[in-house]
A and B are shown apart, each in its own frame.
Chain A
């Protein structure tokens, strides 16, 4: 089945130690998104790629970076995780065409910062 896959599902890192979260998709969608969701809050968009074009949200901290080496993969890099970065990180994909299409979400990676 076509899907959005996130690895790992759970990630523990230490304060200040760089961490990379991975997302892959078999849907061949041209847009990929990264969201941060803290406990009992709505998902918050960090950035997205439309093909290779990177779009950063204005309030996304510089500590968060992303790479999209090809259509199928997208990575979230947190350069120096702080305690406040502990959250669920959700990857999503969609097709951008003449319509606005729904986003399909992966299962998320829950990040713990010690």
Chain B
């Protein structure tokens, strides 16, 4: 069965600290996709990144970086030098195979960045 686990319910940091949000997934498929979404207080889910199972390269986008490790079934998200605007709930999600439209979301991690 497919499952996404975000063990950290809530994290609080002070501005400029680095923070890592953990994501562990379970799937039996060899082809799958992983995502991270940000949900600020306004409610809209904002797409951050997509990674397919054949691409284990880590990715950096500005202050954001992602570490994908198939050996540990993890897809962790790091924010460097956090800012107050990073405060949001972050969801990791999984989709299996081609032409499957269902996203399996983790329960989310609420990040609070204090000034």
Contact = CB atoms under 8 A, between A and B. Distances in A.
Interface string A44-57: 01001010000101
A33 interface: yes
Contacts of A33: 101
Contacts of B99: 96, 100
A104 interface: yes
Contact of B100 (A90, A100, A106): A100
A66 to B, nearest CB: 14
12 contacts: A33-B101, A41-B107, A42-B91, A42-B106, A43-B45, A50-B101, A96-B99, A100-B100, A102-B50, A103-B103, A105-B44, A105-B45
Contact of B44 (A40, A57, A99, A108): A108
Interface size class of B (residues with CB under 8 A): 20 to 34
B105 interface: yes
Nearest to A42: B105
B112 interface: no
Interface of A: 31, 33, 40-43, 45, 48, 50, 55, 57, 88, 90, 92, 94, 96, 98-108, 110
Given A31-B101, A96-B101, A102 B47 contact: yes
B98 A42 contact: no
Contacts of B33: 100
Given A42-B107, A45-B102, A45-B103, A90 B50 contact: no
Contacts of B101: 31, 33, 48, 50, 55, 94, 96
A88 B89 CA distance: 15
Interface in B76-101: 91, 95, 97-101
A34 B70 CA distance: 30
Nearest to A49: B101
